[in-house]
Structure formats: structure tokens, C-alpha cells
Structure 1
Amino acid sequence: SCVGLNDLGADSYPIDVPEQLEDEAGADSDNENLIDDDEVFRDGDNTTEVESDDDVENDTEDEDDLNGEGKQLDDEQLLQSENVRYLVLQLVKRIRACVANIRSTRAVNDHVKRKASSNEPPIKFALITDFETRWNTTFVMIDRFCIYRTIIDDTNSRPFKIVHISPTQQLKLGSKEIEFTNDDWCSITDLYTILKPFMIATNVVSAKIILH
């Protein structure tokens, strides 16, 4: 009868394994372990690479978001600058139109001069219009316009008080284009304040050039 493996004791038939085979078996086992370790290492590398790719992708998205926000901020600042520039140009044009309107009609011009003479203290210089290509003349126009503020407001708000002018001229004096609100006057004052240091510096430099 056949003897089953279960019927044999573990020590009944000891197996002598040659040392060479043991070495080879040990080497194979080590190689298997190395292969397994390499596979784990490679798997780890792949996992790390995937995580790195995700990190790079997230970083790229963050950079894109920052760049997008930065571009939007730059566009908003540019738009704001353009709006300020436009508002300043429109304000200067209105000042120029108001002064030109006063000076174009003798009756209105004489009325403004009488008001200036009776002012306390008297205003000894007249309103002027500027040369558009010379910013310093624009500053002088704004400077004198500010000094004439009460007279200009009175003239524009009550044109019917001026004698010897036509109804058309009265309507023109009272038009919204050359009527200035408190906000307008604040903006004019701000513009004057900004330009004044440049005017002073220009005069100083011009004086030095003349002296030399």
C-alpha cells in the first residue's frame, strides 16, 4: 500500500540539499526579493510621479488663476486710468468753453470785470483761455478760474441779471455744459493742486536757465 504524506513524520526522511543548490536557491530567493523590492520601488516611483504630476497641474492652475487675476487687475487699473484721463479732459474743455463764452460777448465780459473790480480784495487779472499745446497756460487758466469761482457761479446761475444780452446768450450762460457743481469745483481744485508743483518746478528751472 502507498504511504500517504500525512502518515510520514517530518523527521522521517531528512533531505540533504547540496550547498551549491542552497547557495543558488538563496541567490534566487534574494533575486526574487530584489525584484519584488524593485517592483515596489518602481510602483512607488510611479505613485510619486503621479502625485508630482498632480502637484504640477495644481501649481499650473494656481499660476493661471494668479495670472488671470493679475491681468484682470491690470485691465481694471488701465480702464480706471483711461476714465480719469477722459474726465479731466472733459473738465478742462468745459472750463475753456465757459471762459471763451464769457469773453466772446462784450456785455458778459464787462459784467464779469465789474464784479472782479468790486470783489474784496479786487481781482486785478482777467480770465484767459489756454493754448492746448502748452500745459502751463492751462494751469494759469485753471488758477484764475478758481479765483473767479463766485463770479462765475453767479453769472451762470443768474444770466438774466446781465443787461444787453439776448435770450439766446442767457440760455447759453445757463446751460449745463458750463454750469459747475460743487463736485466739479472740487475736481478743479484737485487738478490745480496736482499741477501746481510742476508749475513751480518749471518756473525754477526756467529761472536757472535764464540766469545761466
Structure 2
Amino acid sequence: MTLPRAPLATAAVLVAALLATGCGRAGHDGRDDGRGTGAGAGVPSPLDPSPAPSVDEGAAPAQPTRDCAGRSGTLLEAGPVESAMGLRAMTVWLTHCGAGGYLLDGYPVLEVLGEDGTAYDVHSLKGTQAVTSGVEDPGPHPVVLRTGDSATVSVVWRNTYTDTTKDPVQGERLQVLPRPGGPSGSVAPEGGIDLGSTGRIGVTAWKKAPPAPTVAAPTAPGPSTPAS
């Protein structure tokens, strides 16, 4: 699947996260012990017109397009990877391009894939506190998307490499399962996913994104007035 630079509000959160130097405690509000994986808290939506909409994939553009033209199902896009002091953070966008409603409620499940598509042994953490205390997690709550609506999560990891007995993890794509029972998709963050030897990647719960900005139609020039 695909994702780009987040709006100003999201960018501010990411900048604050990147300036954080210490790791937060594991087990944020009891949602994760820093080791487990497990599915998010989402449940299939009774609003959905079909049980398994498709997920479109692609390379990450400079900004999320959120463009449903010619698409159905869901569009997955990744924003740019912000980095500072070994911390990495990016926003993943999901846009509902199908009919009816699409329900998210909780955390997506992530997998880090190598160049050949093989999944690394990496823990997908519910919450970000085990990685950094600088990213706010809204916690699991229902997010209903109508056609054209988007939701986002923040994904964080560190590239610390301390275990020289193992090769550092350098993933090429991030596999995202938005909710249990639905289809998954993948995004290709610029620069890949360099987890070093940390073996874990944290993600916030889904939250609804502001509406996409509308582009005003160009105004046709008025008739010229002959010079007198």
C-alpha cells in the first residue's frame, strides 16, 4: 500500500517525539507489556458493504494523496520518516474509498518485511511508550470513516544496534493490518525501516484525520476591454 508529509498538527507531534531522548515505560495504560504482538482492538464493522475491501499499495509520495479516483476498498499511504537521535517516526494514512462505512477501533498490527517479502522477527507493540514518551497515543476508540474519510496512526522505532551477534534489521516495507479480519496492505517508507537490534516497533491507535483540503477551481479570466 502507500503514505506522505502529515498536516501541521501531526508534524508537530512527530517533531516533539523526535526530540525525546528517553524511552517511555512499557505497558502504557496496561495495553502492552513491551514484548507481545497481538491484533488491535478493532472489530469488523456492521456498516461495511463488503467483508474484505481491497487495499491499494504503492510507493510513498511527498504528501498523502488521499485520492480515491479509480479505487475501491481502502488506500494506505505512508508519510516521510522523521529522524533524530536514533528515533524514527512516521504517519500512516488509511483512506476509505469504498461505499458505506468503515470501522476502525484500536491498533493495527505491523510486520517489517525484507526485500524478498520475508517478515522479520519483530514485535508489533500496541502503543508507543516502550519506544518513546514523546508521541501521544489517543488509545483505542471507534473511528467510523465514510467514503473519502481518512484515519492515521503514528509509527515509531529506534535504530539502536547493540547485539553484534545478529545482523541489524533493515526492512524495505511495512505490512499493515488495519483491523482484525480485514485485508492487509504495505507501504514502503523512504529509507526503509532500520530497527537495528531493537526488535520492536510501536504504533498508536487509529484516529480520524481532518478532511482533505479542497482545491478551488481556477477562475476564468473576464472579457478584455478594448483600448479606447
TM-score (norm 1): 0.22
Q: Flag the structure with higher helix content.
A: 1
Q: Flag the structure with higher strand content.
A: 2
TM-score (norm 2): 0.21
